[in-house]
Every structure is written in structure tokens, then in C-alpha cells.
Amino acid sequence: MKKLFPIIKNTAISAVIITVMYWINVLLKFTLHINSMIPMLYVLGVFFIAIFTDGYFYSIASAVISAVLVNHMFSSSGNGLQYTYNVITSTAIILFVSLLTCTVTAVLKKERRIKEASLRAHMRANLMRAASHDLRTPLTSIYASSSAILDNFDELTDEQRLELVREIRTESHGLIRMVENLLSVTKINTEDVELTMTDTVLEELIDTVAVKYNRHFPEMPLTLDIPEEFVSIPMDAMLIEQVLFNLLENSVIHARGMTELVLRVTLDEDRVNFEVWDNGCGLPKDKPDKIFDEYHDSTLVSNETVSKRNMGIGLSVCYAIIKAHNSTLRAENNDSGGASFSFALRRTADE
């Protein structure tokens, strides 16, 4: 089916454009009595076909059909074909335009593919660099803590052993989150990504995120501000849940001095607006959207240098997921201090 779809699409585009040009020419010829524009309109139609279809076949076939229709429009009887010097000339001109346009568009499409391939290669390089930096740190900590327990078990007190186990659990959690984010950003940035769009009840989504948050960060209370009315939103629920949790986790780790964290949801006529708000140290004042790059230094996350491991991958995952939902993730500083991350989802499914 995937192989058949481009053929159907290109054929439909060609047929629609040729049909539109034909009826425009009929209007010009028989209503306004204008014949001079007929060849130029068909040339214009072939030009559009060459732009909006793939390859040379559809534009060349349309050029031949257009040349035949030009001869038909100019024939004195209105039916039958007269293969004269005029039709040969019009065919040659239309074919030349189609070939020239196809060549130009093919070059542009090739350059675009090269650019996209370069961006994907850059993304893979950034992911590898992030993996070498962010995965190595928790693995080293886990290895050191477990080795300390095994090598010095009898010498350690119960409290020391418990502290090392806590460290292993904390670093393991961070490692799991990092692997999940790496897998997600790799999936989202592929060309054939398919979201599992289902109608999701807003209250159930927020409850799931809140329970997960409270389990991992019980020391920082989360305030929920959501509408009371029943709302169902088409989304990939697992990915949006990951976005909300990543944003909350990012605030806990990087918003130094934070005393209040809010997950707010508001309703518009056709959109549902999500916002994660905190009163911490805020984002860098120059170009805060840099934090959505696949990899960045920790100094880009907040106005202060942080000791926690890099969370850039998590934020780039959020940005990619929201982009795949035909929306945009925005980051900005609050007027009263702190930072907010926001995005909106449509209340009805896109075609």
C-alpha cells in the first residue's frame, strides 16, 4: 500500500491540474473568446505538475496530453486532432518546459535530501556524544557503589550500605530514563515514525503523570491546576506522558531554589494548553530555546551551573514528540522568576 500511494497521489495531482487548465481554457475560448492564452495555461499546468509530482514520467505524460489538448482547442471543428506544425511546436515547447522544470526540481530535492541526511548524521553524532557523557557517569557510579559494598561489606555500617544502595537505585533510575529518552528521540526523528493516536481523557493522563512524579520526587510537592470539565484529546498518550514527566523532572533537577512547581492545563475553543511552571532560577536570558538541542552543556539549562548530569536529551525528546503532534514546545522565563514550558494540542484529530 505504501508503494501504491505515491503513484495514486502523483496521478491524482496531474489529473486535477490538467482538468482545471482544460476548463479554464474552455471558459476563455467559448465565453471570453480568448485563444492566445491557451498554450501558456497548459505550459503553466505542466510546470505545476513537474513541481508537485516525483520524477519525470508524470510531467512528460502531462506535456503530451496538454499538446494534444492545445491542438484540440485550436481545431476548427472542436473535435478531432490535426497534427500540424502548430501541434508539433506546442508539444516541443511544453516538453521542454516539463523537462527543464523536472531537472530543476530534481536538483532541489536532491539538495534537500543531502541536507536532511546531514542533519540526521549530526543528530546521531550528538546522540553518541551525549551517550558517552551521560551514560558513562551513572554506570561508573553504579559500579563504584556496588564494588564498595562487595569489597568492604563487613567493614561498612548498615547506614553506609544503605546509602550506597540508595545511590545505586538513584543512578539506575537516571540510566533507565536516559535510555528511554535516547530510544524515543531516535524513533521520533526517523522518517517513518507513526504516532499511536487515541482519544485520551485529560484527567487520567494528568493522574498518571502525577502518580509517577510523586513516586520519584516525593520531596518536591506538585500543584495541579486542571479544568473540571471532561476533556478527551487525540494523542499518543505514552509519548505525551513522557513529555510531561520529562519537563517536571527537568524542573526538579535544574530549577535551583525552586519552592513551587505547577502543572497547569487550560482550555481554548479548539486547543488544550499544557504548562509546567516553576519559581526556580530560570532559563538563560539569551536564546532559551537552545535547550531543545539534542545536546547542550548544563549551563544552558539554568542561570547557574548545575552538578546534576546533562538533561539535554530529555528536552530534545520533548521537543521532537510535540513537533510530531503538529505543535511547538516553548520555553520562557516567568515575569516573577523561574521558567515555564508550554505546548498545545488540538481537541480534534488532524487529518
Distance of CA 60 to the CA centre of its chain: 35
The residues that bridge with 341 in the sheet, in sequence order, are 276, 331
Report the 3 state secondary structure along 210-241: HHHHHHHCCCCCCEEECCCCCCEEEECHHHHH
- Please check the confidence at residue 19 and state whether its pLDDT lies above 60: yes
Greater pLDDT, 321 or 165: 165
pLDDT in tens, 29-72: 777 777 767 777 777 887 788 778 877 777 778 777 777 777 76
pLDDT in tens, 303-343: 443 334 444 456 777 887 888 888 999 988 888 788 899 99
Tell me the CATH architecture of domain 198-346: 2-Layer Sandwich (3.30)
- Please check the confidence at residue 126 and state whether its pLDDT lies above 90: no
Distance of CA 13 to the CA centre of its chain: 26
Long-range contacts for 8-15 (Cβ within 8 Å, ≥24 apart)? 10/53, 10/54, 10/55, 10/58, 11/58, 13/49, 13/52, 13/53, 13/58, 14/49, 14/53, 14/58, 14/59, 14/61, 14/62
Whole-angstrom distance, CA of residue 169 vs CA of residue 172: 5
Instruction: Give the chain's mean pLDDT.
Output: 77
Strands 232-235 and 271-278, by their bridges, are: unpaired
Closest to 138 in 3D by CA, of 182, 183, 174: 174
Greater pLDDT, 9 or 345: 345
Provide the terminal-to-terminal Cα distance of the chain, rounded to the nearest Å: 18
Greater pLDDT, 223 or 347: 223
Whole-angstrom distance, CA of residue 246 vs CA of residue 335: 23
Kindly indicate the confidence band of residue 91, based on its pLDDT and cuts at 50, 70 and 90.
Answer: low
pLDDT in tens, 174-221: 777 667 766 666 666 554 556 778 899 999 999 999 998 988 888 899
Secondary structure class of 181 (helix, strand, coil): helix
Q: Which three cell numbers stand for residue 223?
A: 500543584
| pLDDT at site 267 | 93
CB 139 within 8 A of CB 99: no
Whole-angstrom distance, CA of residue 70 vs CA of residue 93: 12
Whole-angstrom distance, CA of residue 153 vs CA of residue 257: 37
Most trustworthy range by pLDDT among 85-89, 119-123, 292-296: 119-123
Which range has the worst mean pLDDT, 12-16, 79-83, 156-160, 264-268?
79-83
CATH 3.30.565.10 in the chain is located at 198-346
* Assessment of whether the complete model's pTM goes beyond 0.85: no
